[in-house]
Amino acid sequence: MHIEFGSQIRKVLVIGLGQLGLPVAKYVKERGFETFGYDINPGRMEDAEKSFGIKSIDKFDEIDVFILCVSTHDPNDEYTPFVDGLFSLAQKISREAKNGSLVSIESTIPKGTSKKIFELLNHRLHVAHAPHRWYSLEEDIHGVNQVRVIGGVSDCCLKVALQFYDSGNEALEFDDDTITKNTSNSRRITSLGIPMHPVSEIEIAELTKIIENADRYMQIAFSEDLYLYCQANNVNFSELRDSLNTKWNVNILEPRDGVGGHCLPKDTKMFLQSSKSIKSKILMAAMEVDNDYRRFREMRGYRMVPSAINNHK
Ligand SMILES: NC(=O)c1ccc[n+]([C@@H]2O[C@H](COP(=O)([O-])OP(=O)(O)OC[C@H]3O[C@@H](n4cnc5c(N)ncnc54)[C@H](O)[C@@H]3O)[C@@H](O)[C@H]2O)c1
């Protein structure tokens, strides 16, 4: 199975039009692709159409690229990983999509998920994983087009995905059914123009995302640990932190209300669950520290700020 960029990539469907999927769809449309949206929540599709002219679609047979941005937490517990929605979506794509299209998973997923999706697609479509680093509070600098890691289930999946995403690709132009470079009377189409960091195994891409969030979790937990130490030993935490951070390679964070948002706990769990034999002791300790810190705050009756504000990026 082989897909040449340009001759086929025109119609892009973003699935999951939530906090992440909506700016992704908007960006893809701005780059000149014919962009569609799909969400199990009809209200999300209406909003996307009204706000950004993203057309809704139910049938998947003409789509060249599927970008999956669906949630990957348990609907009843936002801290628990859950990929069943992604798998049922893969089954729908498998039934309806044409051969050779690209399925790019941008949601955060546990190690091994991309290959399971490739199986569900009966090896008929290309599968890549390009996890997001999008950050809602600093969308201008940490938005859709910041540097991203990308992996493919096979070399040709990676190649097709890089042609779609990578800022290193030349602009291509198309008229009607053929795409050629620099023809007149043709509409200009480019790649998504995102600087990508390709990796040789798709599991590296899966792990990169969940470990970067686990790393953030650990840094916050260390600041909580220091804070509890200071409370127990009558030391001024703020002054200690300021003084520590005068060193070039030290960056102690603020503990605030504890590890904020649902992504850091969820993704840290995804990483811990990715190994049956050996679990990261330091991360398990970090989770314990976060629990202790939260209990301490509750006992002191501290006001909790909304998690979006406390969302440690
Ligand atoms: N929001 C962020 O800042 C951010 C950053 C990086 C990565 N991520 C990851 O991106 C993914 C999406 O996060 P989000 O914050 O946009 O979530 P969200 O809850 O805001 O949006 C998810 C959307 O997916 C839809 N959906 C769920 N299951 C579906 C299905 N089977 N078919 C179609 N639509 C479905 C939901 O209706 C919802 O509109 C998650 O894996 C998250 O970890 C999010």
Give domain status of residue 313, yes or no.
no
pLDDT value of position 168: 77
Tokens of 268: 């840290």
Distance (angstroms) between ligand 1 centre and the Cα of 43 equals: 14
Give domain status of residue 232, yes or no.
yes
Ligand 1 lined by 113 (C-beta under 6 Å): no
In this structure, the answer to whether residues 29 and 94 fall within a common structural domain is yes
pLDDT value of position 259: 94
Please compute the mean of the pLDDT values over residues 201-220 and round it to a whole number: 98
What are the pLDDT digits (tens) for 158-167? 999 999 999 7
Contact present, 157 and 164 (Cβ < 8 Å) = no
pLDDT higher than threshold 90 for residue 169: no
pLDDT band at 178 (very low <50, low <70, confident <90, very high): very low
Give domain status of residue 61, yes or no.
yes
Whether pTM > 0.85 for this model: the answer is yes
Please compute the mean of the pLDDT values over residues 89-95 and round it to a whole number: 97
The residue out of 164, 181, 200 marking a domain boundary is 200
Q: What is the CATH number of the domain that holds 39?
A: 3.40.50.720
In this structure, the answer to whether residues 121 and 239 fall within a common structural domain is no
Integer Cα distance of 310 and 60 in angstroms:
38
Ligand 1 lined by 15 (C-beta under 6 Å): yes
pLDDT higher than threshold 70 for residue 183: no
17-21, 138-142, 284-288, 304-308: least confidently modelled range? 304-308
The residue out of 200, 215, 244 marking a domain boundary is 200
pLDDT band at 306 (very low <50, low <70, confident <90, very high): very low
Q: What is the CATH number of the domain that holds 213?
A: 1.10.1040.10
CA-nearest residue for atom 31, ligand 1, is 85
Ligand 1 lined by 143 (C-beta under 6 Å): no
Strands of 87-227 (E only): list them.
102-105, 126-129, 148-152, 172-175, 178-180, 187-189, 196-198
pLDDT value of position 20: 97
Ligand 1 lined by 107 (C-beta under 6 Å): yes
Percentage, residues of the chain above pLDDT 90:
83
Distance (angstroms) between ligand 1 centre and the Cα of 76 equals: 14
pLDDT higher than threshold 60 for residue 237: yes
In this structure, the answer to whether residues 217 and 192 fall within a common structural domain is no
Which of 179, 138, 136 lies closest to 33 in space, CA to CA? Answer: 179
CA-nearest residue for atom 17, ligand 1, is 71
Give domain status of residue 60, yes or no.
yes
In this structure, the answer to whether residues 191 and 152 fall within a common structural domain is yes
pLDDT value of position 278: 92
In this structure, the answer to whether residues 68 and 194 fall within a common structural domain is yes
pLDDT higher than threshold 60 for residue 313: no
pLDDT higher than threshold 60 for residue 282: yes
Tokens of 56: 């809704």
Q: Which residues partner with 36 through β-bridges?
A: 13, 55
Q: Cβ contacts of residue 313 below 8 Å, gap of 6+? A: 135, 137, 138, 142, 216
In this structure, the answer to whether residues 80 and 153 fall within a common structural domain is yes
Mean per-residue pLDDT over the chain, rounded = 90
Q: Which atom of ligand 1 is nearest to the CA of 135?
A: 3
pLDDT higher than threshold 50 for residue 1: no
In this structure, the answer to whether residues 44 and 154 fall within a common structural domain is yes
Give domain status of residue 160, yes or no.
yes
In this structure, the answer to whether residues 167 and 92 fall within a common structural domain is yes
In this structure, the answer to whether residues 118 and 173 fall within a common structural domain is yes
Ligand 1 lined by 136 (C-beta under 6 Å): yes
Contact present, 152 and 207 (Cβ < 8 Å) = no
Give domain status of residue 189, yes or no.
yes
Q: Which domain holds residue 216?
A: 206-300
Q: What count of other Cβ atoms lies within 10 Å of the Cβ of residue 71?
A: 20
43-57, 182-196, 240-254, 284-298: least confidently modelled range? 182-196
pLDDT value of position 167: 76
In this structure, the answer to whether residues 97 and 141 fall within a common structural domain is yes
Percentage, residues of the chain above pLDDT 70:
87
Distance (angstroms) between ligand 1 centre and the Cα of 287 equals: 24
In this structure, the answer to whether residues 81 and 167 fall within a common structural domain is yes
Ligand 1 lined by 192 (C-beta under 6 Å): no
Distance (angstroms) between ligand 1 centre and the Cα of 68 equals: 9
Give domain status of residue 248, yes or no.
yes
The residue out of 140, 175, 200 marking a domain boundary is 200
In this structure, the answer to whether residues 192 and 215 fall within a common structural domain is no
**In total, how many domains does the chain have?**
2
Give domain status of residue 309, yes or no.
no
Three-class secondary structure of residue 289 per DSSP: helix
pLDDT value of position 176: 40
Ligand 1 lined by 20 (C-beta under 6 Å): yes
